[in-house]
Amino acid sequence: MKAGGAYVPLEPGLPPARVEYMLEDAGIEWVLVESGTMKGLPLSGVDVVLMDGAGTEAGWLEEGEEAGELEECKRKVKAENLAYILYTSGSTGRPKGVMVEHRAVSNYVAHARQYLEGMEGGVVSSPLSFDATLTTLLAPLLGGQAGGIAGGG
């Protein structure tokens, strides 16, 4: 999000045709993935960035910070830019992308932080492609709390 890209979660367990549709519909150019997760994903036509070890190695992020690339990107991100796109269940036959702007996420997180301040956290265990999961994770993370976060299903 800091770099100006929109987050579009792709669940590895989805049918390949649905993932392919989402990639095309959202105009995805880059996919960040761990090598163990990419098996079966239809990733032809997109650039793949392997994130193996990114959660435990700070070096890959520090390279961009040292070059000043992240600061330059943050200056370009505006409130009306997309933060993420989540796809509906497709009950009408085709999944539809719900586009959420940075300003909407910022407003939600600011409210949630005030409302939840001082409360003990719980465990989030729904898929990261579910809107309530994503916003539930953002509020405590932006407030400096990482406890209670478990891998999404």
- pLDDT tens per residue, range 68-112: 555 666 667 788 989 889 888 767 778 889 898 988 888 877 777
Q: What domain range is 107 assigned to?
A: 16-142
Determine, yes or no, domain membership for 8. Answer: no
Q: What is the pLDDT of residue 7?
A: 87
Q: Is position 1 within any domain?
A: no
The total domain count for the chain is: 1
Residue 152 lies in a domain: no
Closest Cα to residue 26, out of 120, 115, 95? 95
Identity of residue 122: G
Q: Are 96 and 88 in contact (CB under 8 A)?
A: yes
Asked whether residue 5 is domain-assigned, the answer is: no
Structural domain contains residue 10:
no
Supply the mean pLDDT for the chain: 74
Residue 58 falls within a domain, yes or no?
A: yes
Better-predicted residue by pLDDT, 30 or 68: 30
d(CA 104, CA 106): 5
pTM for the model stands at 0.68
Asked if pLDDT for residue 20 goes beyond 80, the answer is: yes
